[in-house]
Amino acid sequence: MTLIRIGTRGSPLALAQAHMVAAALKNDAGVEATEIVVIKTTGDMILDRPLSEVGGKGLFTKEIEEALLDGRIDCAVHSGKDLETVLPELLTLGAFLPREDVRDAFIGRGGVRFADLPEGAVVGTASLRRQALVRRARPDLKCEVLRGNVQTRLRKLDEGVCDATLLALAGLKRLGDEGVATEILDPTTFPPALAQGAIAIEIRRDEASLETFARIDHRETAIAVSAERGFLAALDGSCRTPIAGLATVGEGRVSLTGLVATPDGADSADITRDGPVEEAAAVGFEAGRELKGRLGAAFFAQWG
């Protein structure tokens, strides 16, 4: 493949991630030339409602996957946490770049820290996971939907739309904006979204693509994300489900800790499982299946 066309959303963060993939292809896979193709997604155009009300996180990938399927692009670059659990049949995840910091960054207007927010303060976030975790830690706070790219959300915070917001530290680092964070939240008490911090590269299932992208695949990241996506698959995770978790890899084994919460944060349950790296997806799936069985259908039905 002498030219690889890279499909991406058009936000500054998405473009930064696409350029990272282009650099990896040139430096590590011997690709002669790349072209970045910007594709506007439905998720980029709907900014006034939570994704759970309009079709879920697949709204950030649908149009890009269509371009991949019809040959207009050769790969699609996604934030791992934006991917649907089940991909189109003819597509697969060909590679992951080395994972960035998985933690969430808290940004308080005026530099206020999370613990010091006054009662009734408004935290702006469209993520049901973040809303549930905020409410679990501080039931006295209010959560309101805040959509848009990183720059849009930071601008709205400055304008006083809310008192604080949360963003993935990985995105801030890739943009060189980590300095805006008031504090970095501990992942043991504020666990990240599944696959947060991972750049996923989606490709067609053809031999040439599989061979090319295998050269830039970061194995440890791929194993961890496989376990996390397995956990999500077992729980039928969607944008209506507050799910969090993180897998770590070491000494030939993968360990996953996953959490499910009610949207109001009043009830939550977690689980930890580990197993050989070769069975990463199964380790995650079994953890999700066991947690789902423990909680029962009624737990999930309350917001399904």
Residue from 182, 185, 27, 34 nearest 108 by CA: 182
Which structure tokens are listed for 185?
């939240």
Q: Which of 82, 101, 104, 163 is catalytic?
A: 82
DSSP string, 186-250: -TTTSPPPTTTTPEEEEEES-HHHHHHHHTT--HHHHHHHHHHHHHHHHTT--TTS-EEEEEEEE
Would you state the pLDDT for residue 51? Answer: 52
Tokens 């959560």, residue located: 143
pLDDT tens track for 208-224: 999 999 999 999 999 99
pTM above 0.85, yes or no: yes
CA–CA separation, 168 and 149 (whole Å): 11
Taking the CB of residue 75, how many other CB atoms lie within 10 A of it? 26
With contact defined as beta carbons under 8 Å apart, do 45 and 73 qualify? no
Domains of the chain by start residue, with CATH: 1-97+198-217 (3.40.190.10), 104-184 (3.40.190.10), 219-295 (3.30.160.40)
Percentage of residues of the chain with pLDDT beyond 90? 85
Say whether pLDDT at 303 is over 90: no
Q: How confident is the model at residue 1 (pLDDT cuts 50, 70, 90)?
A: low
Residue from 81, 94, 101, 90 nearest 216 by CA: 94
Residue from 214, 190, 210, 203 nearest 268 by CA: 190
CA distances to 58, 60, 89, 241 from 86, rounded to whole Å, are 10, 14, 9, 16
Mean pLDDT of 275-304: 89
Would you state the pLDDT for residue 233? Answer: 94
Least confident of 9-13, 62-66, 295-299: 295-299
With contact defined as beta carbons under 8 Å apart, do 114 and 93 qualify? no
Say whether pLDDT at 271 is over 80: yes
Would you state the pLDDT for residue 81? Answer: 93
pLDDT tens track for 172-183: 999 999 999 999
In this predicted model, which residue has the larger pLDDT, 228 or 238?
228
Which residues are 36's β-sheet partners? 6
Helix axes 12-28, 150-158, angle to 10 degrees: 150
Say whether pLDDT at 207 is over 60: yes
Q: Is 82 a catalytic residue?
A: yes
Q: Which residues are within 8 A (CB) of 131 and not within 5 positions of it... i.e. 6 or more apart?
A: 123, 125, 143, 242, 263, 265
